[in-house]
Structure 1
Amino acid sequence: MAMNEKVAEVLEKQINAELYSAYLYLTFADYYEDRGLKGFANWYMIQVQEEVDHAKALRRYLLDNDYKPTMEAIAKPDKTFSNDLEPLEAGLAHEEYVTSLIHHCYEVARDEHDIRAMKMLDWFVGEQGEEETNARDMITNMKLFGSDPKGLFDLDREYQTRTYVAQTTLPM
């Protein structure tokens, strides 16, 4: 069965959104690197890798369903920050936006009766819940502990321990 064109188009757009997320999180990592907060930078560099993984999974899904995706230009992130909380808040807002995009993809798949795409997108729906929870937790931690130099140091050390784990069960 041929890939539904409407579903393929929204998934193709989602690839671009995931790659933009990687670009955006690179700017967050750069902000924290410049501040000397290597743990926060590490957290966002791992986010970069995860967003690229998401784009690759969507690309693979399209290719496996006989649809050749077109890679579009990725917009330049335009965020600037004046304190350590702002990137975290921008991260949560962005994850909420990505969740809305994933929900739109799911709605299109549902409307087009593309059960296979809906099943694949179930994974992304769950992933976005996790991403939003992590972003909210980071904001809470920064508000509770980040205004104190020792607390900020401890948070930064904690975030340095995060390691990248390649996703072995990507949606297909």
Structure 2
Amino acid sequence: MAVSSSLQVAFNRHINAEFYSSYLYLSMSTYCDSIDLPGFSHWMRIQSQEEYDHAMRILTYLEDRDGRVTLLPIEQPAIEFDSVEDVMRQTLGHEQHVTQLINELYAVAAESADFASQVMLQWFVNEQVEEEKTARDVIAALDKVAGRSDALLLLDREMAARVPTPAAA
């Protein structure tokens, strides 16, 4: 059974939001590289790839449900930031926004009584808890090293150790 037309529209909008997230984090990565923080740049590139994977997960799900994928234009992300702290605070704000979007998408699935979509979206609900916590943790670490370039370089090394996590099915 195909998804309802309202849910199909909502899924397509969310695919666009996930692709935008990927694009935003890639922009943040290039900014971090430009200020000589390769560890943060690496961390943001992995974040960008995760968001791309999220978009593809929903895109594939929509196709599997005989829905029609409509790729929408991706808005240009910010390219300038005040600091790495600004990058991470914007990351947290963006993840909170994505959480709201996931909740709204889940509500459309619930209104449509589309139980399969609700089950699929539960993974995203849980993922957003992790995404917000991770951003808060990095902000807390940055707050602790504020103004200390030697400590920032150590934190940058720690950020470089992030490895991609395979997307769960």
**AA at the equivalent of 1:4:** S
Other-structure match for 2:56: 56
Runs of 4+ in 1 over 4 A off after TM superposition: none
Q: Which residue of 1 aligns with 2:165?
A: 165
Find the counterpart in structure 1 of residue 25 from structure 2. Answer: 25
Alignment of 1:15-164 (within 5 A): 15-164=15-164
* Partner secondary structure for residue 51 of structure 1: helix
- 1:147 offset after TM fit, Å? 2.0
Which whole-Å CA distance do the structure 2 matches of 1:140 and 1:53 have between them?
27
Q: 1:40–1:146: structure 2 CA closer, same or farther, 3 Å change rule?
A: farther
Per-residue CA deviations over 1:140-168 (Å, capped at 9, x if unaligned) read 1001014211210110000111111321x
Task: Please give the per-residue CA displacement for 1:76-117, whole angstroms capped at 9, x wherever unaligned.
Answer: 013521222101000000000000000000001111111100
Q: How many angstroms apart in 2 are the aligned matches of 1:75 and 1:83?
A: 22
Deviations 1:18-75 (A, max 9, x none): 0000110011101110011000001100001000000000000000000120111100
How far apart are the structure 2 equivalents of 1:152 and 1:104?
37
**Unaligned regions of 5+ residues in structure 1, if any?**
none
Tell me if structure 2 keeps the 8 A contact 1:146–1:155.
Answer: no
TM-score, structure 1 normalization: 0.95
* Cα distance in 1 for residues equivalent to 2:40 and 2:149: 14
Among the aligned pairs, what percent are the same residue?
A: 38
Q: Secondary structure at the match of 1:127?
A: helix
Once residues 85 and 113 of structure 2 are traced to their aligned partners in structure 1, the CA distance between those partners, rounded to angstroms, is 42
Query: Quick check: 2:8–2:68 contact (8 Å CA) kept in 1?
Result: no
In structure 2, runs of 5+ residues without a counterpart are none
Question: SS state of the match for residue 163, structure 2?
Answer: coil
